[in-house]
Structure 1
Amino acid sequence: MRFDLTDGSFPVYTTKRVYWKTAIKEMLWFLTGQTNIRSLLEDNVRIWTDWPLDKYRKATGENISQEEFESTIISDEAFAAKWGDLGPVYGKQWRRWVDTHGIEHDQIANVIQTLKSNPTSRRMLFHAWNVGELDQMALSPCHMTYQFYASKLDEGRDALGGGSRGELSLLVGQRSCDVGLGNPFNIAQQAALVHMVAQQVDMTPGELVWVGGDVHLYLNHIDLARTILSREPRPFPKLRLLRHPASIDDYRIEDFEVTDYDPYPPIEAPVAV
């Protein structure tokens, strides 16, 4: 799939309401490098709870409710440290990939620095498929590879050196895609990432290109799919960043302004764990 972002379009699907703030909050959490759900829950994001909750129930035999589990994660730091960590998932690999010599690598910072200094590089990518740590992760990475591509370099510069340094596009390779629930979140947050990185390197958003490997629909999402197919898509909304943070680490959800989002009503469906 290809999404043109050059006019500010924000590919948030309209055939059901997508909670785009939750999707962006998850992306911002990835960018912090954190792997514990506590900060997510404090930000009212519950999309990762199912995995540690399932692990806790199996380990203890206690049929604790999701609400009680989440409230204990928030209130009890020791409990959160033991039961709220997801292992070395996305954020850990993106920001603190450890090589065989024990040296940590910040893949995000490296990509941004390369975009600033050598935007024609063919090595502007980061990924999360760390083979040696897959068995420690609550969920193996689904969206695995992010590769940036800069084009129209310096065409946007005016005589005084102002304007954009070019267009920034992103190719995402996703090995596994839950098309009913996961994909709408993935596309929205990946488009937001293009906007953030483009702003940090003085470029304009270009295109989001998405490639899925095993793209599937769960059987308990059939009714969701039928409802979506009965609806006529509406135009995408627009996204604008309200300020220019000092670095990729400084974005907040309040920095994202989305206008003209006119979706159909939401559709509830269970997460497959």
Structure 2
Amino acid sequence: MSLADQIFINMCKDILENGTSTEGEKVRPKWEDGSYAYTIKKFGVVNRYDLSKEFPALTLRKLAFKSCIDELLWIWQKKSNNIKDLNSHIWDSWADENGSIGKAYGYQMGVKHKYKEGYMDQVDRVIYELKNNPFSRRIITNMYVHQDLHEMNLYPCAYSMTFNVTNKPGSDKLVLNAILNQRSNDILTANNWNVCQYAVLVHMLAQVCGYEVGELVHVIADAHIYDRHIPIVKELITRPTYDAPEFYMNPDVKDFYDFKVEDFELRNYKYGPKVDIPVAV
């Protein structure tokens, strides 16, 4: 069993056994038939993934790895808020007639801010700090910008990254760690998707800045399983598991903006059968 499988199974069991229900409360999401989508939820879930030991892809079911990477690059590299720049259709429900999702996600990563060193967007600021001030405790990104919330078609769920560099005992190499803060996480649909996306991001930044990868800590304020997902989750966590796949990233890429979807692979990836998941919007 991979560590990611073990963490996921334990988290799901904890939510199902010890979570609280939102049934009957005022909730925003609805199912396609118009009925309200209630959840079982846990507050303040924290999961730790040591990226130096394995890549955290679930083997219980297949991760759509290429689509996962495509969305990551859409937000962090292209800094786009238009679904025309994205190959998958996962954002279609939140796009307007022009394809825009408003001032959300990639838009916020592309806004330039004034620093002592000049104007930079958040991605370039992270890279600058990692290369020039690796032990800074201020290497943070934030997409939850209150002044722009009214122009976002969806408030950001995974909204903040905090990067922290540590020394590796017995080595001259530095280690890049990160905390992903998420206000809300649909455990069945998006949990492993988000974990793997930001695991890849840590790998990317580590490579272009000359570090090794360390820990990714995932902090979830509202970790929930939707009511119609409960039987799917119960079946999923009883499945056989396999060893974690091998993560490959093109070692020749040294510029963050040169990465392409084809530069990433999951090798020797074994996984369980596909799961059909209704999505609440």
TM-score between both structures, scaled by the size of structure 1 = 0.80
State the alpha-carbon separation in 2 of the partners of residues 111 and 91 from structure 1: 15
Match of 1:218 in 2: 226
**Alpha-carbon shift at residue 97 of structure 1 (Å):** 5.2
Instruction: Say if 2:151 is the partner of 1:136.
Output: yes
Residue ranges of structure 1 left out of the alignment (5+ in a row): 56-81, 158-164
TM-score between both structures, scaled by the size of structure 2 = 0.77
Match of 1:112 in 2: 127
Write the letter of the residue equivalent to 2:279: V
Match of 2:192 in 1: 184
**Alpha-carbon shift at residue 122 of structure 1 (Å):** 0.3
Which stretch shows the higher mean deviation, 90-99 or 174-183? 90-99
Q: Residue 174 of structure 1 contacts residue 213 of structure 1 at CA under 8 Å; is this kept in 2?
A: yes
Q: Residue 240 of structure 2 contacts residue 272 of structure 2 at CA under 8 Å; is this kept in 1?
A: no
State the alpha-carbon separation in 1 of the partners of residues 256 and 157 from structure 2: 22
Match of 1:123 among 121, 138, 145: 138
Instruction: Point out the structure with the larger helix share.
Output: 1
Match of 1:198 among 206, 210, 235: 206
**Alpha-carbon shift at residue 152 of structure 1 (Å):** 1.1
Instruction: Say if 2:50 is the partner of 1:50.
Output: no
Match of 1:269 in 2: 277
Match of 1:13 in 2: 58
**Alpha-carbon shift at residue 263 of structure 1 (Å):** 0.8
| Deviations, residues 243-264 of structure 1 (Å, cap 9, x unaligned) | 3324212110111121121110
Q: Residue 155 of structure 1 contacts residue 166 of structure 1 at CA under 8 Å; is this kept in 2?
A: no
Which stretch shows the higher mean deviation, 103-112 or 129-138? 103-112
Q: Residue 207 of structure 2 contacts residue 254 of structure 2 at CA under 8 Å; is this kept in 1?
A: no
Match of 1:3 in 2: 49
**Alpha-carbon shift at residue 231 of structure 1 (Å):** 1.4
Instruction: Say if 2:250 is the partner of 1:242.
Output: yes
3-state SS, counterpart of residue 183 of structure 1: helix
Residue 85 to residue 223, structure 1, CA distance change in 2 (3 Å): same
**Alpha-carbon shift at residue 201 of structure 1 (Å):** 0.5
Match of 1:175 in 2: 183
Q: Residue 143 of structure 1 contacts residue 176 of structure 1 at CA under 8 Å; is this kept in 2?
A: yes
Match of 1:34 among 80, 88, 105: 80
Instruction: Point out the structure with the larger strand share.
Output: 2
Percent pairwise identity: 33
3-state SS, counterpart of residue 83 of structure 1: coil
Residue 21 to residue 214, structure 1, CA distance change in 2 (3 Å): same
